[in-house]
Amino acid sequence: MNQDPSPLSILPDDLAPLVRARVPLSDLTTLKVGGPARWVCRVTTPQEAVRFHAWVTEAGLPVYILGAGSNVLAPDAGYAGAVFRVDTASFTVRGNRVSVGAGLAFDTIVARCLDAGLVGLEFASGLPGTLGGAVMGNAGCYGHEIGEFVRRATIMTPDGRIEEIDGGQFGFAYRVTALRETGAVLLDVVLELATGDVDRARATRRERIADRRAKHPVDLPCAGSWFRNLEPAGPGQRRRAAGRLLEEAGAKDMREGDARVFARHANIIVNAGRATSAQISRLADRMRAAVRERFGIELQEEVRRMAQRERE
Ligand SMILES: Cc1cc2nc3c(=O)[nH]c(=O)nc-3n(C[C@H](O)[C@H](O)[C@H](O)COP(=O)(O)OP(=O)(O)OC[C@H]3O[C@@H](n4cnc5c(N)ncnc54)[C@H](O)[C@@H]3O)c2cc1C
């Protein structure tokens, strides 16, 4: 392990333009909170991922993987390691299969697939974030999940090897994958879609976007739903909405400084100005405690809390 106080001294020259120092995490996350990340590495190809991995390993830096930061709470103290920002952006259509860089914005992919005559993803129109974040968290809405469409992927393993894997190796479950917990970096994804009624799919897309605008904060920073919905009470039943329990437990009146519960949705925390990460965290803890006290149910967080030093 290198003891040099400046990891920059061992950074290959050609990687230097892809690295920034002391970047506020508030600029990299949709909640707009968080102190500086010591280093942020923009990863645009699998080869760069491997070379950045070699660099952080030699420099002894912990790594956090980030897409668009739309499902992450970053700490006020920042991150004392390297943030890998996945920015792979390829897009190739072959028949019903689309090979896509994990760094592309998910909504851009929905639109481009429709332009290519492929339907299926329109249910997730308007979903913030990258494809990588969506696949690693098995994002979903309106009765579908991204995992349904994933056939193959290119990842970097935690020990820095590039591997091709099948969709089945992700371990897709409700809003989670087993793969995310290993620390693998998702770089490229092959999705399988269908040819179908593109006009109808475009109409669905417009409806979903309008629905999101009506239900979600449009001008206040947030990270989507804070808590997961509950397991169905029985076979054939739907998941129970965490938002309903939170509302009945009085969450809508809660706030911690500028961290507030969104007036139209009790499962969303907004940053109404100058909220800190600590305030948001306290508010989420109070919301969970209120549901525990009222219903004896322990809500699970969907938003990821980024630790100051961690390898995910
Ligand atoms: C207004 C709003 C509405 C939302 N609505 C929904 C919704 O309807 N359904 C839903 O499921 N989510 C929703 N979300 C949450 C969020 O948009 C999704 O979880 C999104 O898919 C996250 O993508 P991201 O690129 O922002 O990931 P990030 O927030 O950057 O990362 C999320 C997690 O994935 C990991 N990760 C990200 N990219 C990679 C990669 N390439 N390789 C390995 N790990 C990676 C990170 O380490 C982190 O653990 C919403 C968020 C907002 C702000």
pLDDT tens, position by position, 273-290? 999 999 999 999 999 999
Break the chain into its structural domains and give their ranges: 10-86, 91-203, 217-305
**Centre of ligand 1 from the C-alpha of residue 152, in Å:** 19
d(CA 302, CA 242): 11
| Catalytic residue (choose from 97, 112, 152, 175) | 175
Q: How many CA atoms lie within 13 A of 267 on its CB side?
A: 19
286 counts as catalytic: no
Give the per-residue pLDDT at 280. Answer: 98
Residue 158 has φ and ψ, to the nearest 5°, of -60, -20
Query: Which residue in 31, 52, 58, 54 sits closest to 40, CA to CA?
Result: 52
What pLDDT band is residue 233 in, cutting at 50, 70 and 90?
confident
Please state which CATH number belongs to domain 217-305.
Answer: 3.90.78.10
Q: What percent of the chain has pLDDT over 90?
A: 92
Beta bridge partners, 98, equal 93, 191
CATH level 3 topology of 91-203: 3.30.465
Contact 165, 292 (CB under 8 A): no
Query: Number of helices (H) and strands (E), helices first, in the chain?
Result: 6, 21
**Ligand 1: which of 66, 141, 177 to mutate, judged by most atoms within 8 Å of the beta carbon?**
66
Ligand 1 mean position, distance from CA 312 (Å) = 14
The reply to whether domains 10-86 and 91-203 share a CATH topology is no
Q: pLDDT tens digits, residue range 129-145?
A: 999 999 999 999 999 99
Averaged pLDDT, 157-176: 97
Q: In 10 A of CB 67, how many CB atoms? A: 28
Q: Is the CB of 25 under 6 A from ligand 1?
A: no
Mean pLDDT of 15-42: 98
Paired residues of 221 in beta bridges: none
Name the residue at shortest CA distance from atom 5 of ligand 1: 224
In the prediction, which pLDDT does 310 show? 46
Q: What is the pTM of this model?
A: 0.95
Extract the tokens encoding 39.
């280093």
30 CA → ligand 1 middle, Å: 10
Q: Ligand 1 within 6 A of 307 CB?
A: no
Average of per-residue pLDDT values in the chain: 95
Query: From CA 75, how far away is CA 291, in angstroms rounded?
Result: 25
What pLDDT does residue 307 have? 82
5 pLDDT band, cuts 50/70/90, is low
Mean pLDDT of 187-213: 97
Helix, strand or coil, per DSSP, at residue 91: strand
Q: Which residues contact 46 (CB under 8 A, 6 or more apart)?
A: 88, 154, 156, 162, 187, 188
* pLDDT value for 273: 97
Give the least confident one: 38-42, 138-142, 152-156, 239-243: 239-243
Q: Active-site residue among 225, 277, 281, 304?
A: 225
CATH fold for the domain made of 10-86: 3.30.43
Do you know the residue count of the chain? 312
Give, using CA atoms, the residue closest to atom 9 of ligand 1. Answer: 140
